[in-house]
Structure 1
Amino acid sequence: MREFMRSTRLSLVFLIIFLLTLIGQSVVGFLYNNEELTQHGQPEIGYFEFVTTSAFLVDVAENWQSEFLQFFLFILATIWFIQKGSPESKKPGDEGLGSDEDQLVGSHARRDSPRWARAHGVRLWIYSNSLLLTMGAVFVLSWFAQSLAGHIVANDENMQHALPPETWGAYVVSAEFWNRTLQNWQSEFLAVGAMVAFSIYLRQRGSSESKPVGMPHHTSSEESQ
């Protein structure tokens, strides 16, 4: 157990941070929601009732889908596009999917390679793209959950204002839905672009996301190996 904890600390730290912030969001959202209910002369609801509402779900799913879209596009872009000098990029000339020999697949797989890396056909294609496929699937599911929960919230608000309900299709093309969605997307893309560009000239000693402190700006981490 001690060895497991040591070798997985990076994942565990972020899992703990995620759970703490999710709990914090739920508590603060619960308090804020009851404040609004009180202001409108409506009875307060319990915490567990709140965390199962569409209002809470839409806020969670809205952030999840933007995060996984960010990683989906970043993984896809780094296959084909190069940023010279950034440790977030392959070195110039390495664009593309790479050869079977470089990727250690098929007949080039090692004895300790994953079993599906030694497969052929569809199984090899699925495993070769499994990270991108998983990120894309989580994005699509999160986006769909956001749209369903947001649709319910929007119709609840329409009912409060004596307005007719709208269909799911009308909601997902509405300005309200895309205003909530795009304000998250633009911030994620800015963060990724800034990381790629800043890491060319700035350093963080000891981090795998940074080049060694003394490495020239124009050289990527891969070029030094």
Structure 2
Amino acid sequence: MHTERSVRRAVRQNALGLFFGGVFLAALVGQSFAGWAVFDDTQAAQGLDPIGWVEYVTSSSFAADVAENWQSEYLQFLLYIWATVWFVQRGSPESKEQDQTGLESDEDQEVGTHAGPRSPRWAAVGGVRQVVFSHSLLLVMGGVFLASWAAQSAAGVVSYDEQQLLDLEAPVTWAQYVGSADFWNRTLQNWQSEFLAVGSMAVLSVFLRERGSPESKPVGAPHDDTGAEG
């Protein structure tokens, strides 16, 4: 009984992460089956044999499609995290107050001598560890973006060269592919949609509400109330 209560409490306390983890896996599996069907249709149109699902999900084509979306998502959050340090949007709950732009004081950030008894250990120490921890979210987001971008380009050139050979054309190098219109067309169509979405969120939340959401201001908050959460 105690174990059951502990499990329920753990699920309740981590429900947001579990929810998005679940829908992520569901969408990824759905993408794999839909992509497999499209891939086999293309194979059939070209007079080639279809492949199995396992072969498809381990292919460069699937890897390139997945990594392409991941890198654009992490770039979105990388830029958003950095931009909200220095820029404000009057009336948005996604923004700090205008007089709080920048890295803020040690007192505001509860670091060094201002750290509390429950503060993370690296927040209380000085030197490199505090600097790294102070920017750890940006560093991890940037690292995942670069890794997924590298994976996209590596898998993408393999997939691209496979198609080149089928079309009886010469394959290209990684550098040629990264500089190609095909690569940047696939990349920029994802970037522009991510930038539009996050920019819209920052601006629309000035005037619109979602009751009970921390991404929204309280329903009755004035439109020009900046940084308030519902």
User: Is 1:10 the counterpart of 2:32 in the alignment?
Assistant: no
Q: For 1:205, give the aligned amino acid.
A: R
Map 1:133-144 onto structure 2 (within 5 A): 133-144=139-150
> Which 4+ runs in 1 deviate beyond 4 A?
none
Map 1:69-80 onto structure 2 (within 5 A): 69-80=75-86
Q: How far off is 1:67 after superposition?
A: 0.3
Map 1:51-200 onto structure 2 (within 5 A): 51-200=57-206
CA shift digits 1:76-109 (9 cap, x unpaired) = 0000001110000001100010111111111111
Q: For 2:173, give the aligned amino acid.
A: T
Q: How far off is 1:188 after superposition?
A: 0.3
Aligned sequence identity (%) = 53
CA shift digits 1:118-171 (9 cap, x unpaired) = 121111011000000000000000000000011001111111111111111011
List gaps (5 residues or longer) in structure 2.
1-6
CA shift digits 1:4-24 (9 cap, x unpaired) = 101110111000000000000
The RMSD of aligned alpha carbons is 1.2
Q: Which residue among 213, 216, 219 is the counterpart of 1:213?
A: 219
List gaps (5 residues or longer) in structure 1.
none
CA shift digits 1:13-49 (9 cap, x unpaired) = 0000000000000011111111111222111111111
Map 1:38-49 onto structure 2 (within 5 A): 38-49=44-55
Alignment size in residue pairs: 224
CA shift digits 1:43-76 (9 cap, x unpaired) = 1111111100000000000000000000000000
